[in-house]
Amino acid sequence: MTEDARAFVQLQDVTLAYGRGERRVAALGKTDLSIAKGDFVALVGPSGCGKSTILKLVTGLIPASSGWVFVAGREVGAEPVRVGMAFQNPTLLPWLSIRDNVMLPLKIVPPFRQEFRAKRRGEFRDRADALLAQVGLSGFGDKFPWQLSGGMLQRASLCRALIHDPQLLMLDEPFGALDQFTREELWGILQELWMDRRPTVLLVTHDLKEASFLATRVCVMRARPGRIVEDSFVDFPRPRTIEMTYEPGFVALTQRLRERIVSARGDAAAADLQEIPA
Ligand SMILES: Nc1ncnc2c1ncn2[C@@H]1O[C@H](COP(=O)(O)OP(=O)(O)OP(=O)(O)O)[C@@H](O)[C@H]1O
């Protein structure tokens, strides 16, 4: 094992199988992935190729079947790392106001939790309101989740993911349930938040335009077993705009990613056929 000292997240020779015996599913074949601090990496690929599995391994939710996962220079789980998460479903607590939902990580995560009682009506409240304003939700802090639209809830969910200045931001299809206009608006907001704070981001998405707009690197995966088959740098200047997504270079990138995914699907199907005895 050789650890990459510059990497903030590193998967080395990692494999992951769910279940045992007849129920065993080889979700991730031998995988290496190195992500520098402050990088924004998107994982794309067909359903079931192991994208969410990589997120779970990096957050330490599941242990690797073999290999090593390092975060911040230590084996995952050895040292607490501040992680922020957002999913397709915003999962805000219905009985809390939007502001209290956003402040939730400050109540739970050290070192903030020790100061929560003292600062919840002052500094922490201001911090939540400033973030809500940055995503266009000024004045909505006292509302409850049922009073907001899907796009507004997802903005609040991004605030909750970022309130405790996470070192790692894990996003699993955060905009998957939104209409195209709201989604594009939120790409701009997420890009701005990332440029301001520079957490290390891992984004899982099925939307190749979203991956190319937001990420500095796009990793294409294939299924059965899951592996990374291509790792592309995206060097369009920032801040990126929606207009840029219609430019030839951008369109060519998304087309190439699409072709790579389609051909990887073919490879996977061929691998499956080889595994079936004649
Ligand atoms: N808890 C589990 N138990 C058994 N198999 C699982 C479990 N979680 C995932 N799998 C299987 O592991 C493989 C990879 O799943 P994973 O959720 O990582 O894929 P994904 O690329 O995120 O898929 P999607 O794009 O559909 O969300 C799939 O074949 C899936 O069915």
**ipTM greater than 0.90:** yes
pLDDT band at 190 (very low <50, low <70, confident <90, very high): very high
Backbone φ and ψ for 58, nearest 5 degrees, come out as: -70, -30
Helix (H, G, I), strand (E, B) or coil at 27: strand
- Which residues neighbour 278 within 8 Å (Cβ) at sequence distance 6 or greater? none
Give the residue, by CA position, lying nearest to ligand 1 atom 26.
Answer: 47
User: Is the model's pLDDT at 115 over the cut of 70?
Assistant: yes
Range(s) of the chain covered by CATH 3.40.50.300: 1-81+167-278
Question: Within the chain, what is the greatest distance between any pair of CA atoms?
Answer: 70
β-strand partners of 19? none
Residues near ligand 1 (Cβ within 6 A): 18-19, 25, 27, 47-53, 226
Give the residue, by CA position, lying nearest to ligand 1 atom 31.
Answer: 48
What is the position in ligand 1's atom list of the atom closest to the CA of 23?
4
Instruction: Report how far ligand 1's centroid is from the alpha carbon of 243 (Å).
Output: 35
Q: What is the pLDDT of residue 225?
A: 86
**pLDDT tens-digit map of 232-249:** 999 999 999 999 999 999
Determine what percent of the chain is predicted with pLDDT higher than 70.
94
Instruction: Report how far ligand 1's centroid is from the alpha carbon of 48 (Å).
Output: 5
Owner of token pair 């891992």: 202
Angle between helices 98-108 and 150-162 (to 10 degrees): 20
DSSP code of residue 22: G
Give the mean pLDDT of 181-192. 93
More confident residue, 268 or 26: 26
Determine what percent of the chain is predicted with pLDDT higher than 90.
74
Q: Which residue in 51, 56, 62 sits closest to 226, CA to CA?
A: 51
Q: Which residue in 124, 125, 181, 176 sits closest to 154, CA to CA?
A: 176
Asked if 186 and 158 count as a contact pair (C-beta separation under 8 A), the reply is: yes
Q: What is the pLDDT of residue 275?
A: 46
User: Is the model's pLDDT at 210 over the cut of 90?
Assistant: yes
Q: Is the backbone of residue 143 left (phi > 0), alpha (psi -120 to 50) or beta?
A: beta
Q: Which residue in 170, 91, 100, 171 sits closest to 132, CA to CA?
A: 100
Instruction: Report how far ligand 1's centroid is from the alpha carbon of 28 (Å).
Output: 9
Global pTM value: 0.92
What is the position in ligand 1's atom list of the atom closest to the CA of 224?
29
273: how many CB neighbours lie within 10 A of its CB?
A: 8
Q: What is the pLDDT of residue 6?
A: 75
pLDDT band at 120 (very low <50, low <70, confident <90, very high): confident
Lowest mean per-residue pLDDT among 68-82, 87-101, 190-204: 68-82
Give the residue, by CA position, lying nearest to ligand 1 atom 29.
Answer: 48
Asked if 46 and 56 count as a contact pair (C-beta separation under 8 A), the reply is: no
Query: Do you know the residue count of the chain?
Result: 278
More confident residue, 78 or 146: 146
Q: What is the pLDDT of residue 93?
A: 96
Give the mean pLDDT of 50-61. 95
**pLDDT tens-digit map of 80-102:** 889 999 998 888 999 999 999 99
Instruction: Report how far ligand 1's centroid is from the alpha carbon of 223 (Å).
Output: 10
Task: Identify the H or E element spanning 270.
Answer: helix 248-275
Instruction: Report how far ligand 1's centroid is from the alpha carbon of 18 (Å).
Output: 9
More confident residue, 267 or 239: 239
Asked if 17 and 177 count as a contact pair (C-beta separation under 8 A), the reply is: no
- Fold of the domain built from segment(s) 1-81+167-278: Rossmann fold (3.40.50)
Asked if 211 and 203 count as a contact pair (C-beta separation under 8 A), the reply is: yes
Instruction: Report how far ligand 1's centroid is from the alpha carbon of 51 (Å).
Output: 8
Q: Which amino acid is at 218?
A: V
